[in-house]
Amino acid sequence: MASTTVIADTIPTQEAGLATPEPAQPLTLGIRQVALVGFVIVTMLALVTSISYSAGRIVKSNIPQSPVAVHVVRAAPAALPRQVNAAPAPATQQTVHPPALSRTPAPGSLFFQVAAVDQGMAEVSVEFLLRKGFAARMAPSRTEGIFRVLVGPLSDGAETSRVKGQLEAAGFHPFAQRY
């Protein structure tokens, strides 16, 4: 015995009283029809979800990923001082000096910029590049607290191509910048 669902009893009449009430035709849905409607809804939901997922993967793959070089340095444990009752050093006012590796490029010189980061990361990046044999330096940018990591100065031609290839092999994405 199949179960059925009946929807609506009568159709409302006009208030003027001219029309006679007509009995409404009952809408009968069987189990198969209800299951079919549910299946269509679930299928549509799965289709929308899979399209959204695919679109997100495509957009994510178009965003350029830049590698970040991290160099871990292990420090030796610090020796503890032997004197416990030593007088504290007098407080002095400290001035912050830019690091020795920070120099503004000469006007008209050609450099490869490999990063624009905060001062700490810029110092680490410059030290890394120096150890790899590059003529690296950091220079302040227009944004306060951000420093450019530069390699150069470079002469035009073969040296520029060679250095760019070496930087790309080291995992950087350099671009030429004339100052």
On the 0-12 / 13-18 / 19+ scale of CB atoms within 10 A, 64 is: exposed
pLDDT score recorded for residue 57: 80
Instruction: List the chain domain ranges.
Output: 22-62, 110-178
What is the distance between the alpha carbons of residues 115 and 118, in angstroms, rounded to a whole number? Answer: 10
Topology of domain 110-178, per CATH? Alpha-Beta Plaits (3.30.70)
End-to-end CA distance of the chain: 87
What is the distance between the alpha carbons of residues 115 and 167, in angstroms, rounded to a whole number? Answer: 12
pLDDT digits (tens, 9 = 90+) for 3-60: 555 555 555 555 555 566 666 777 777 899 899 999 999 999 999 999 998 888 877 6
Tokens of 129: 């590049």
Residues 6+ apart with CB under 8 A from 26: 6, 7, 8
pLDDT digits (tens, 9 = 90+) for 79-124: 555 555 555 555 544 434 344 466 677 777 888 889 989 988 989 9
